[in-house]
Amino acid sequence: MIKPYKSDALTPRFVCDAERRAELRREAEQLPSVLLNSSSASSAVMLGAGYFTPLDGFMNRADALSIADEMRTQSGLFWPVPILNRISDEGDIAGERITLRDSEVAGNPPLAIQTVESVDTLRSDELMHIAQCVFGTTDHEHPGVNTFLEQGAIVVSGPVEVLNFSYFETEFPNTFRTAYQIREDIERRGWKKVVAFQTRNPMHRAHEELCKTALERTASDGVVIHMLLGKLKPGDIPAKVRDDAIRKMVDLYFPENTVIISGYGFDMLYAGPREAVLHAIFRQNLGASHMIVGRDHAGVGDYYGAFDAQTIFHTDVPEGVLDIEIFEADHTAWSKKLNQVVMMRDAPDHQKEDFILLSGTRVREMLSAGESLPEEFSRPEVAKILMEFYRQN
């Protein structure tokens, strides 16, 4: 199986030993504490789950600025997005160890303990600079930029010991999986080559065919459908509905033992190309040898070009840094001429009107109005689940 990123083994920060975890929970109640925002809490979950190998904790101000400018930490580790614990008031930080409390769970229980290495402050111009580099814009209408700029300016760096996986384990017990759990599943199935598919949306027939095409063309043994379970922008389909729709599609339309359905506990950044590189790193960590990057991967609105998330792997990712390979996919849709789903670049004789194309806005309008989606666009069983959600909302 492919090695984790820059490491011979995963470095999950979750404390597996039950006795040690109980000891840390007792310690957590005695330490000064800070309340994590959702972004920092989900990053702690990703650190705990091994997805952010080889990181051992949150970065400092210097690393954040270095990553913004050069996509490298001060020590030279290639990394596309700063992983920060940002707070508004450092008054609660006293001593070398602090409890990180979970803002996303009732009662704000301890999520992790952090050993504090530094406490820095990012100036407003530095925050704007990081936003511009990471998101390609400082427009507050961009949901990722808006979230990023609303967080505190104080950066608390240092390694973490993670005590649990927040709400992801309890709300998504059949779907949330750590990187090491997925690796174990891949090994148990005897898969050698694996394709990862990122999604924050329900999967329609184009996505289904894209996974099947990638499996065939990479000669892989299976695909990991890896869905985001964290916070999304308003209007996106909730994780539970998306999970149900994807499971129905896989049950009915994929061959047995070719798919692992799983999810990860991270908030969507909508950072387009930079986020695509982050996705590649943690897909390598879960054991995937290939990752599908299609049109507008991790994008939002018109902030990025349709295939900028593919281009970055050629322009900004140094050769040999990543072991995972990128399967570059074109826009995929139903061909009226061929009566099947195809990638548009594979049908050069087609015009736009030869495809069945529906925008996300149009799909939402149809579902909200109780209209059936064309079977060429969405499997009827999937459409039924989505229609029921829109009917109730």
pLDDT tens digits, the chain, 393 residues: what are they? Answer: 999 999 999 999 999 999 999 999 999 999 999 999 999 999 999 999 999 999 999 999 999 999 999 999 999 999 999 999 999 877 767 669 999 999 999 999 999 999 999 999 999 999 999 999 999 999 999 999 999 999 999 999 999 999 999 999 999 999 999 999 999 999 999 999 999 999 988 888 989 999 999 999 999 999 999 999 998 888 788 889 999 999 999 999 999 999 999 999 999 999 999 999 999 999 999 999 999 999 999 999 999 999 999 999 999 999 999 999 999 998 888 888 888 888 888 888 898 888 888 777 788 788 888 888 888 889 999 999 998 888 887
Total-model pTM: 0.94
- Here the tokens at position 250 are 């896989």
- Here the contacts of 308-314 (C-beta below 8 Å, separation 24 or greater) are 308/272, 308/273, 309/272, 309/273, 309/275, 309/276, 310/276, 311/273, 312/273, 312/274, 312/276, 312/277, 313/276, 313/277, 313/280
> Are 199 and 228 in contact, with CB atoms under 8 Å apart?
yes
Determine the Cα–Cα distance for residues 120 and 59; give it in Å rounded to an integer.
11
On whether the CB atoms of residues 159 and 56 are closer than 8 A, the answer is yes
34: Cα separation from own chain's centroid:
25
The CA distance from 167 to 355, in Å, is 41
Strand bridging mode 325-328 / 259-264: unpaired
Which residues are annotated as catalytic?
A: 200-201
In order of their start, the domains of the chain are 18-166 (3.10.400.10), 174-264+272-392 (3.40.50.620)
The DSSP H or E segment spanning 145 is: helix 143-150
Distance of alpha carbon 266 from alpha carbon 138, whole angstroms? 22
